[in-house]
Chain A
Amino acid sequence: MSIDLSQFHQVFIDEAYEHLATMESLLLSLDLDAPDLEELNAIFRAAHSIKGGSGTFGFKDIADLTHALETLLDKLRRQELQVTDEMITAFLHCCDLLSLMLEAHQDGTHVDDQAVLESKAHLMRLAEGSESVLPVTVMPGAPESTFTSSPHLSANRWRIHLHPHTDLFSGAVSEAALLSDLAAMGDLVLISRAANSQRVWELTTALNLEALEEVFAFVCQADEVSFEALNETPQAVTDEDEEDAYGFFVDEDSLPAAQTIQEEALREEAISDEDPGFGFFVDLESLPAHSEPEAAEEEGFGFFVDPSELPAAQDAASQAALEAEQGFGFFVDESELPVHSSDTAEMLGRAAIATKNPVPVAPSQPDLKTPAPAKNTEKASGVKSASKAAAAETSIRVGIEKVDQLINLVGELVITRSMLAQSASILDPVTYEAIHNGLANLERNSRDLQEAVMSIRMLPINFVFGRFPRVVRDLSQKMQKKVALKLVGEETELDKGLIEKLADPLTHLLRNSIDHGIESPEIRSQLGKPEEGTITLSASHQGGSILVEISDDGAGLNRERLLEKAREKGLPISDNPTDKEVWQLIFAPGFSTAKEITDVSGRGVGMDVVQRNIAEMKGQVEIDSVPGMGTRIGLRLPLTLAILDGMSLRVGEEIFILPLTRIIESIQPESEQLKSVSGQGRVVHIRGEYVPLLELWKLFTLTPKFTDPEAGILVVVETVAGKMALFVDELIAQQQVVIKSLETHYRKVEGISGATIMGDGRVALIIDIDRLARMHKSDVAPESMSF
């Protein structure tokens, strides 16, 4: 079994990050007063998966720390300990350390051992907090603990039945290696030995079932081995009929026995994520009870039917279960997978088995809430893991470059189509009706295709919002303020590239809100506000753009103080500025009204960075603020970085694209509107304002059709350096263009932000208007920019 495991490291690390993210979001949403057992189980599962994986790949440090984490979590989910705020903090700290450790393993660096040891010791201490209280015997009403409490029992005797579907030991698996693993765990006695690698052993060990399952997880499928406890444990878990501990369970209050078995099976599933987790659960209100459902099954099957599923689905389902001779998982979730036929079941089952890895939680649903009206947690668990598993099967990980390639190819297709349309336009529509119809179809299809492909790059904004509950929690604790974070519109989708760039500015804004916006609880109660401040983070589509808003119910911006500070700094302000102008002051570099510098904010390097970041994304920042009521900061962003709404314009032979969002108006100037300022070039007088004139042909050394601005057209644009009037020959059309990089094969070009391909296949350059304005301002001679 000498497989090079390092090739799987990246997969493990990716998955571990996902598990950490799941844990974090679950921890943050955990209700301390009445912790949801199912959520605790989910956290435990995540920790366990990381532990399992890290153990396998030899990341011992991670395995050790997660073990401590798991020990405490195990006690929590068995309700031997009450969840406290201290624990949550310790868990979160531990999550941070784990992600640091993962990073360190990736980069080959090292993590501060001391911090790890401390965190571990802390977790241990918390876990031992009630060690004395821990009953050695199992608590009634908590059947979950039958197996897992075994580390504390002296030793357990297990009968292990191995009944593989294939002749295991003649293949890749070494029996000797397995035996030595088992022998290392305790006293091993071979009870029987048959052909086809069927074996029965008895093992006396201090380790628990989980450890046993781990040993076998790398040898065979989970349903190929079964464990029977031979101890005098109160619950005889393993019934002879139920030797695989799975089956077809009918959950009905009048069938308490079945319920116990079901709980047990679920617990088993919770323990072991490697286990594809099968059992056939049917909710009973909708179904007639089956008298002897167990008979239908020989081995473990997973079959979860959402309570709201149609009874009709059940027929197909039970048929699938009957047909299945081997362990198939069949997960039905009303939203994901309507049951069509038993074929689907079989395919799904195979897929579930093929992935022996812990089922990764779909990233898009980190805090998945069960849609089903769960009557009890057991049932919720079934449905929940079912939908998670289903989500895992229906999403794939694809490199972003593959998606970009697809987008490129579709772009090409669109261009080819418009070239075809151009050639065909001279054909007589009557004689060549078929060609024209075909082209119209092609146009529709290629547009749909383009939209579909673009949507691949779209991700829910939750990817960036998801990290903020943690940020708010940490910061508000540090600042000793009470802050609740409300997230709205987390499913709003936007381009992946934008999502990544949004994280920093949003973190800045959030910090500002907590630090400057929300008042301390004392002040708030004096003001008659609730002690707990609320910050709302929302995202929504508005026309062709995305609006991300952060609003708080804090103190609001202080107009007087802003003005005072601006005067102090010598910033130019008009005598009677509007609120909007005053709010804009906070974007000035080095501007901070914080009375003292904290490590959270106040250094005055926040807002100007925010504005720059947003401008880079071709977005805008809006501020509203009412003293005493709060502040709202809106970020308006384009849907995607890959497509731009532009205006195409012509100068001489060349066509350029100007971002539409920057255009204020276009005018044909009269001669009296044009003034020249000595040495500064010309300005245009537009409604009482003098706007500098930018002659594109001069900046780009082109041969224009018109050199006289009166003959051409002026496009008034908004730039970082104020309004500018761009003089061009003519405007062509408003159109959406796909942005392409010039730098991939060439290099940066002054005044140009990228390129695009026009309908005729030619390249058009996209004007970087801010850069152009700066070129004009600093009076850079075109000659000196040539290199």
Chain B
Amino acid sequence: MAEMRDEQSRVETREYLTFTLGAEEYAIDILKVQEIRGYDAVTRIANTPDYIKGVINMRGVIVPVVDMRLKFHLGEATYDAFTVMIILNLGQRIVGMVVDAVSDVIALSDDDIRPAPDFGATFDTQYLMGLATVAERMAIVVDIEKLMTSSEMGLVDQLSQTAV
């Protein structure tokens, strides 16, 4: 019995959503994704960094939108009918994230994710869960919740950050 359970947990996989920013492919836990929608009607907020595009109305809830392409200087920040936004649900908070494209949903087991080398990537390594290889491509697995609630993103009041 115990062996069987071992067997099962070993092959237990989790699903990840992958998206591209420039030439790089990223993967985030799909359970943190609420929905994917087009980019529209963003209300600008004054005196914020350029990657904070503003706020949108998500069915009566005011949600901030971050353009990851601007934040990490990857790809080209154009806005058209094909621009997509991943709406993330991070516990108490909802955040919209603009990316180049959403590519796939992949299943990864913990073993598939290899520790990331300390190479001073675009993302600080503290937000990286590791690297995974999917069909010959490399995906960077990101701890999106940690990243979005970090002071680096400036999405959260510093005082309330501990509460998140």
| A interface residues with partner B (beta carbon < 8 Å) | 408-409, 411-412, 415, 653-654, 699-702, 740-752, 755, 757, 760-765, 782-783, 785-787
Q: With A and B bound together, what is the CA distance between A699 and B45 in angstroms? A: 11
The answer to whether A757 touches B45, judged by C-beta atoms less than 8 angstroms apart, is no
User: Which residue of the partner chain, among A653, A749, A762, contacts B45 with CB atoms under 8 Å?
Assistant: A749
A745 and B46 contact, Cβ closer than 8 Å, known pairs A761-B57, A762-B41, A762-B57: no
B68 at the interface (CB under 8 A from A): no
Distance of B77 from chain A, by nearest CB (Å):
18
Interface residue ranges of B2-61 to A (CB < 8 Å): 41, 43-49, 54-57, 59-61
A701 contact set on B, CB distance < 8 A: 46-47
A765/B43 in contact, CB under 8 A: yes
Question: In the docked arrangement, what's the CA distance between A748 and B56, Å?
Answer: 16
Within 8 A of A (CB), among B129-164: 154-157, 160
**Once the chains are docked, how many angstroms separate the CA of A752 from the CA of B54?**
13
Q: Judge whether B60 and A757 touch: CB under 8 Å.
A: yes
Residues of B69-112 at the interface with A, using a CB-CB cut-off of 8 Å, are 93-95
Contact B43 A654 (CB under 8 A): yes
Contact present for B157 and A748 (CB under 8 Å) = yes
Residues in B with CB closer than 8 Å to A783 are 47
A782→B41 contact, CB < 8 A: no
Q: Whole-angstrom distance between the alpha carbons of A751 and B45 in the complex? A: 10
**Closest A residue by C-beta to B49:** A786
CB of A402, distance to nearest CB on chain B (Å) = 15
Which residues does B use to contact A, with CB under 8 Å? 41, 43-49, 54-57, 59-64, 93-95, 154-157, 160
- Determine the chain A residues whose CB is within 8 A of the CB of B57 once the complex forms: 415, 757, 761-763
Q: Would you call A741 and B154 a contact (CB within 8 A)? A: no
Asked if B46 and A744 sit within 8 Å, CB to CB, the answer is no
Q: Which residues in A have their C-beta under 8 angstroms from that of B62?
A: 740-742, 744-746, 755, 757, 763
Nearest neighbor of A782 in chain B, beta-carbon distance? B47
Shortest CB–CB separation between residue A307 and chain B, in angstroms? Answer: 50
Given contacts A755-B55, A762-B41, contact A745 B64 (CB under 8 A): yes
B157 touches A752 (CB 8 A): no
Would A702 and B46 count as touching, CB distance under 8 A?
yes
Roughly how many angstroms separate A162 CA and B43 CA in the complex, as a whole number?
71
Bound form: Cα–Cα A729–B63 in Å: 27
Pick 13 A–B contacts, CB within 8 A, sort by A.
A654-B43, A700-B46, A702-B44, A743-B157, A744-B93, A745-B64, A755-B43, A757-B62, A762-B57, A763-B41, A764-B43, A786-B48, A787-B154
With A746-B64, A749-B46 given, can you name 17 additional A-B contacts, CB distance below 8 Å?
A: A701-B47, A741-B62, A742-B62, A744-B61, A744-B93, A745-B62, A745-B93, A749-B48, A750-B47, A755-B55, A763-B41, A763-B54, A763-B57, A764-B43, A782-B47, A786-B48, A787-B154
Question: Which of A409, A750, A757 has most B Cβ within 10 Å?
Answer: A757
Taking a contact as CB atoms under 8 Å apart, the answer to whether A785 and B60 are in contact is no
- Residues from chain A with a CB closer than 8 A to the CB of B94 are 745
Chain A residues near B93 (CB-CB < 8 A): 744-745
Kindly state the separation between the CA atoms of A408 and B60 in the bound complex, as whole angstroms: 6
Distance of A741 Cα from B94 Cα, bound (Å): 13
User: Please, which residues of chain A bring their CB within 8 A of the CB of B95?
Assistant: 745
Measured CB to CB, the nearest residue on chain A to B65 is: A746
Query: Nearest Cβ distance between residue B46 and chain A, in whole angstroms?
Result: 3
Write the chain A residue with the least CB distance to B56.
Answer: A763
CA distance A568 to B104 in the complex (A): 74
Bound Cα distance from A301 to B72, whole angstroms: 75
- Give A592 Cβ to nearest chain B Cβ, in Å: 33
Bound CA–CA A746/B56 (angstroms): 11
Between A654, A741, A746, A749, the greatest number of chain B beta carbons within 10 A of the residue's beta carbon is seen for A746
* Cβ-closest chain A residue relative to B43: A763
Give the distance to chain B from A13, nearest Cβ to Cβ, in Å: 25
Complexed CA–CA distance, A782 and B46 (Å)? 9
Q: Report yes or no: A408 in contact with B61, Cβ–Cβ below 8 A.
A: yes
One of A409, A761, A765 near B41 (C-beta < 8 A): A761
* Closest Cβ–Cβ distance, residue A745 to chain B (whole Å): 5
Q: Smallest Cβ distance from A421 to chain B, in angstroms? A: 17
Q: Are A412 and B64 in contact (CB under 8 A)?
A: no
Across the interface, name the chain A residue whose C-beta is closest to B64: A746
B46 & A746 in contact (Cβ 8 Å cutoff): no
B45→A765 contact, CB < 8 A: yes
Contacts of A699 in B (CB 8 A): 46
Max chain A C-beta neighbours (<10 A), residue from B45, B47, B61: B47
What residues on A are CB-neighbors of B44 within 8 Å? 653-654, 702
Distance between B118 CB and nearest chain A CB, rounded to angstroms: 28
A741 to B56, CA, bound (A): 13
Closest chain A residue to B41, Cβ basis: A762
**B55 engages A763 (CB within 8 Å):** yes
Q: How far is the CB of B109 from chain A (nearest CB, A)?
A: 32
Give 5 nearest A-B pairs by CB, closest first: A700-B46, A763-B43, A747-B157, A746-B64, A408-B60
Cross-chain contact A762 with B43 (CB below 8 angstroms): yes
Q: Please give me the residue from chain A that is nearest to B63 by CB atom.
A: A745
Contact yes or no, B59 A746, CB < 8 A: no
Min Cβ gap A647→B in Å is 18
Contacts of A412 in B (CB 8 A): 59-60
In the complex with contacts A411-B60, A747-B156, A762-B41, A742-B55 CB distance below 8 A:
yes
Chain A: CB-nearest residue to B42? A763
Name the residue of chain B whose CB is nearest to the CB of A408. Answer: B60
Cβ of B120 to closest chain A Cβ, rounded Å: 24
The answer to whether B47 and A785 have CB atoms under 8 Å apart is yes
Bound-state CA distance A702–B156 (Å) is: 23
Q: Whole-angstrom distance from the CB of B57 to the nearest CB of chain A?
A: 5
Chain A residues with Cβ below 8 Å from B43 are 654, 755, 762-765
**Are A752 and B60 CB-contacts (below 8 A) given A747-B156, A787-B154?**
no
